[in-house]
Amino acid sequence: MAVQLHDLEPLRPLLQHRPLGLLSDIDGTLAPIVPNPDDARVSPRCRSLLRQLAQRRVRIALITGRELEKARAVAGIQDAVYAANHGLTIWADGRLETPEALQEYAARARQVVKEVSGLGAQGVVIEEKGPALAFHYRQAVDEGKARAAIAAAIVASEAARAFRVTEGRKVVELRPPLAIDKGTALAGLVARLGVQAVICIGDDQTDIDMFRGVDELRQRGLPGVTVAVNSEEATSDLLAAADYWVQGVPGVEWLLRELLRALPGRRPSSLGTASPARK
């Protein structure tokens, strides 16, 4: 079970390994959760600190359920590698990488959208992500009713049967049934980036896959630490899967700043004081 991270001491041994990799989710971790997912943005403090960490040769990878272009727009960080759609799409070295098997799922996803018309009346926002779909019900007046409507629509949709159903923070997703998730994405990015130690941060159920990926790397001898972002919506499974936790996006801002302070080089640019947020 994760324990609250009050200071950087437990993570300092990782800083002796270079290059260091920082792999993080975006929404709910670096960007506050907002009612409309299109309005989300990485906090200015997180963005500045990540850029400064990249300048200190920390290798930044953002692993997200977002579609790639939206992920890059929400993050606004150029010096990062992106694994979008839970690892189905990789943006690295200035090029896009996707499995050939995804091509058929984009057409099927469009067909699902046609077959589930009417969910908007329940307050559901459908996010089209190429070969995947996300049904957000955070804006619904009755979230339970909206979630049930999504489930019923998926069951009734013939095209939806080709997908795997997963859930996150007030979102139901349809993903191609490929052996790809945030954990496999993390393992691939760690190998690509050549990092010698890993700090992994996430806030949602799908981020447990990342934490498991770090566990597997540790079994192979690569040092790593997992940090859950606690919130009112955090599940016991998430906290059980992580080593440590911080409270909300402010807690992540504190952690990034402390990492930057602990690395050799210039002091972090002034962004005001920060301390670990408490429950």
Catalytic position from the list 25, 204, 209, 243: 25
- Residue 275: which H helix or E strand, with range? none
Helical segments of the chain, H only: 44-55, 68-75, 103-115, 143-156, 182-193, 207-219, 236-241, 248-262
Give, in degrees to the nearest 5, the angle at Cα 174 between 31 and 75.
20
Backbone angles phi, psi at 33, to 5 degrees: -70, 135
Residue type at 61 in one-letter notation: A
Name residues whose C-beta falls within 8 Å of residue 64's C-beta, 6 or more positions apart in sequence. Answer: 25, 26, 27, 71, 82, 83, 84, 86
CB atoms within 10 A of CB 69: 14
**Residue positions counted in the chain:** 279
Q: What is d(CA 63, CA 28) in angstroms, rounded to the nearest whole number? A: 12
Name residues whose C-beta falls within 8 Å of residue 193's C-beta, 6 or more positions apart in sequence. Answer: 19, 21, 59, 61, 81
Distance of CA 173 to the CA centre of its chain: 14
Helix (H, G, I), strand (E, B) or coil at 137: coil
* Paired strand residues for 121: none
Does residue 25 have an active-site annotation? yes
Q: What is d(CA 194, CA 23) in angstroms, rounded to the nearest whole number? A: 13
Q: Encoding tokens for residue 77? A: 């960080």
Please identify every residue annotated as catalytic.
25
